[in-house]
Every structure is written in C-alpha cells, then in structure tokens.
Structure 1
Amino acid sequence: MRSTDLRVARGNKTILRGVTMSARSGEVLGVLGPSGAGKSTLFRALVGEIDVSSGRVELFAEDVTGLPLWARARRGISYVPQTPSVLWDLSVRDNLASYHRVVHGRVDAATLKSAVERLAQRVALEDRMDVRAGELSGGERRRLELARALTRPPKVLICDEPFAGVDPQQASRLGDMLRSLARDESVCVILADHHVEEALRVCTRAVLLLDGEVAAEADPAAFREHPLVVGRYLGSWARTMPPPPPRP
C-alpha cells in the first residue's frame, strides 16, 4: 500500500501535509507520533472513510483514491478503528455471526457456524463465545475487533490504537497475533499506538509523523535513536526501552 503527497484539510486547518509512505506485504509498519500529529486522519484517508484534498492512495499499484470505504474493503483493506465498534449487548458468537452476514451475505447455518468458530479460534476467543462483548476485558474486546476485521481475509490490515486500554500481557498477546498475520500470511499490517514500546516490539519498520508530515523512517532499533524521535517525540526515554526482539 502506498500514499503519495496525501493532503487533508478541514476548513482553514491542514491536518496532513503531503504524506508519502509505503508498506509492503508481510511487514508491520508502525506510524508513530504525538497526539494531534495526524495518525488517525491518515488511517481514515487510507481506508476511504474521509476524502482527501489532494494526493493519491494505491493498493498494489491500483489507484483507489476515489473509492469509498466499502469498495476498498472489497479489495482487501480491513480496518480496526480507534473507537470500539463491537456490539456490546451481543455475545462474541453473535458479534462474529452478524458481521459475517454483513460481509458475505446469507449462508447456511453450518457454514456460518464453522466460519464463526474459526474466527474465534484465530484470536483465542473460542472459550468466550457466549460472553457478551460488554463483559469482555479490554484485550478480549480488541481481539474481537481483530476477528471481525479478518472476516474477509485482508491484504492490508490497518489498526488504530490496538493496544489502547489493554494491560501489558494482553497487549503483547495481541501484538504477537499481528506479527503472525504479517509473517505467516503475508498481510501488510499498519498500526499506530501510544504504547510505543509494544508498537516497536511488533513492527518491522516505523515512521514518525509530526505536524501532518513524515519526519523520519527507520527500523525499530534506529528509530528510537533518531534525533527527531528523541528531540520532538520521546525524549531520552526512547533510549531506555529494551531492544526489539530478533526477527525469526
């Protein structure tokens, strides 16, 4: 996936100022930066939730800039938004079943049951199938969101704040799932999160977004040492984080 000179303005305020970046199949790209840098706006522009003022969004060399969200989804872009979108009063089973019907239409009961069970197993929720979404932990709800995003096998998975409201153990578990999707299924995963340590553990490459512009790009180890990351984002704390794990 690639964006070229992507610009978004709302009224007199320019939010994205010519963002050019790319992400490949099989990698996890971290889009990091302070609050207000434009990360969520960038993601909403990539998935087609908002219009851009100018620039171009490409998916495997196809220009999808003018396509709405549903058309980009059919081409393989899945989105886990920052704001929870699960149906809180429904069980895990019914959440997955209802979303499956939205994506795939009506199918016979056996096919639906098999698909729902398979999705739950992929995110380790098979033992929580009859629990209401509102009764799940923060980490379990985010995994339910991920399962919904996998209902149509994605080529690109964009996750906005996947570790928000999640304890460190659950964040690590979710991060491992995202890495596995990229490594084992060649999904292009793009994520943004303020849980920087976990984001850098998971991603294979990171970009720094400042004031709506890409200010730096590097692998996780070099990213934390970058002068702009230290000077304008994380301070000296960046250098105290544990080193990223070796890549398999």
Structure 2
Amino acid sequence: MAKREALEAKGLRVLRGGKVILRDVDVTAHEGEVLGVLGPSGAGKSTLFRALVGERLPDAGTVRLGERDVTQWPLWKRAREGVGYIPQSPSVLWDLTVRENLVAFHRIVHGTDGKPEERAEAVGLDQRLDVRAGELSGGERRRLEFARATTGDPRVLVCDEPFSGIDPVGAARLGELLRARAAHGTAVLLADHHVEEALSVCTRAILLLDGAVAVSAAPDAFKEHPLVRGRYLGTFHPRVA
C-alpha cells in the first residue's frame, strides 16, 4: 500500500531583494519517510524549510498538509495542526530548566502543560529535568529541541541542521530518534551539512541547487549521481571523529 502524502509543496517561489531564492520547487514528503533536503550553502534549503513551516510565506506556489491548503497559515497555526520544527539556530530557552522548556512549549502549542517527564524520558533527558537548558551539552540541547518539536505527535517534523554542533555519538543518538519518529508514521524532513549522518538516516534525498530541485533518489543512488558528485559531494570531506 502506498504511503499517504503528509506534506506537499507545489511551485514554491521565494524572492528576496528582487533575487529568486526558490525557483518553482516541488517537494512531497510521505508518512513514515525521512526525506533529506541536501545541497551546498546558499542553495535555498533553510528558505524552503521556513516556507514549509510557515515562518516565511512564499511569493508563489502552495503548501498542503494532508488535504488542507496551509499556504497562508502562520507557523503557530501549522504547529497546532501537526507540523514540528527544529530550526537551524538554537531555540531552547536558556534560563529555563528542561522541564520548564517542555511545559512552556506545550502550553504555547496546545494550551496545557502536557507530560514533560514522559517527553524527557523519551529522549534520555529524564535525569536532567531540573537542569537549566544553558548547561546542557550540544547533543542534549538538540534532544530537548526534538522533544519540544514532537510534542503532540506531529504528522510532519522539519529539521534544519539537526546534527550541527554535536559530536558523532550525539549525532547517532539523534539519528535513532529521527528514524523512530518516522517509524511511528511521521514524515521527517531534514537538511544538514553533515552528509554522512544525514544520508544514514534518510530513506530518500533530494539535491537542491540554485533554488531548484535537481535530483531525487534513494540514498545510495543519490550518492552516485553525477550531478551530486560533481556539484555537491565533491565540496565536502568526511567528518573526522
């Protein structure tokens, strides 16, 4: 049975200062899929993600969440309808504890305190509930952001540079959480400059070049595609542990 479309973007175009950042981009993410959105710096990955979650409305094109057209919906409304988001920049509330971060986010999105103990346990932070977010390691902060973003069991989880600033062990642990979320039925989209980690998690990857989708393939085929090797992977070196 074919998996249902969780999120679909058609003809997305975004301009900035008269310059075209996204050029009629089409992206579909299915339930249970981990879709990698990869490409060199300046390709438009973060702009695409901001358009998908409602942080930046497109100049043209549509975004659908399941059967609903959410193109003009702001970020908070999409969050309440099942779109989780881990932005590229750290988004924890540094002076609040892990528990307070989880409660605050759940109140904003759902209007209740939720169950912070359960969310913390799910990401291995149950022993850190009363620790200030500013005292967490990079990997712990990312897991806290993951716990916040998956509050309410989202249908779609958009992750911009989730492996940034964390060591290989932390990256592997976060990768397990992302795969588990997809196995639960969520459509996961991620962009990251750590190519090996990203492709190890993905079930499919697209290459974004100059604001347009140039390649879409399974991870192994993606790595061997001439355009990927020539315009993208050739600019990176393997991470040294």
Aligned to 2:122: 122
Q: CA deviation at 1:229?
A: 0.5
Counterpart position of 1:174:
174
Aligned to 1:8: 14
Task: Please show how residues 94-109 of structure 1 align to structure 2 within 5 Å.
Answer: 94-106=100-112
Unaligned segments of structure 2, at least 5 residues: 1-6
Runs (4+) off by over 4 Å: none
> Which residue in 2 is equivalent to 1:228?
227
Residue 106 (structure 1) shift: 4.5
RMSD: 1.6
Correspondence for 1:244: none
- Give the counterpart of 1:48 among 33, 54, 61: 54
Aligned residue for 2:38?
32
Where 1:128 maps in the other structure, the secondary structure is coil
- What fraction of aligned residue pairs are identical, expressed as a percent? 63
Q: Take 1:236 and 1:35, find their aligned partners in 2: how far apart are those partners? A: 10
SS in 2 for 1:170: helix
Task: Give yes or no for contact 2:13–2:61 (8 Å, CA) kept in 1.
Answer: yes
Aligned residue number for residue 163 of structure 1: 163
User: Number of residue pairs matched?
Assistant: 233
Counterparts in 2 of 1:37 and 1:236: CA distance versus 1, 3 Å: closer
Listed one character per residue, the Cα deviations across residues 109-163 of structure 1 (whole Å, up to 9, x for unaligned) are xxx5xx0101001111011111111111100000000111122210000000000
Aligned partner of residue 230 in structure 2, secondary structure: helix
Who is 2:198 aligned against?
A: 199
Q: Is the 8 A contact 2:35 2:202 kept in 1?
A: yes
Displacement after TM superposition at 1:103 (Å): 2.2
Q: How far apart are 1:12 and its partner, in Å?
A: 1.4
TM-superposition CA deviations, 1:33-85 (whole Å, max 9, x none): 00000000000000111111101111113211111112211211111101111
Other structure's SS at 1:207 match? strand
2:136 corresponds in structure 1 to: 136
Q: What's the TM-score once normalised by structure 2's chain length?
A: 0.93
Return the letter of the residue paired with 1:223.
F
Q: Where is the helix percentage greater, Structure 1 or Structure 2?
A: 1
What is the TM-score when the length of structure 1 is the normalising length?
0.90
| Distance in 1, Cα, partners of 2:40 & 2:26 | 18
Report what 1:22 is aligned to.
Answer: 28
Contact 2:36-2:202 at 8 Å conserved across structures:
yes
Q: Distance in 1 between matches of 2:197 and 2:214?
A: 21
Q: Cα distance, 1:97 vs. partner?
A: 1.6
2:147 is the alignment partner of 1:147:
yes
- Residues 191-226 of structure 1 show CA distances to partners (whole Å, capped at 9, x for unaligned) of 000010000000000000000000001000000000
CA distance in 1, matches of 2:53, 2:234: 32
- Residue of structure 2 in register with 1:89 after alignment: 95
Alpha-carbon distance between aligned partners in 2 of 1:106 and 1:128, rounded to the nearest angstrom:
22
2:188 is the alignment partner of 1:189: yes
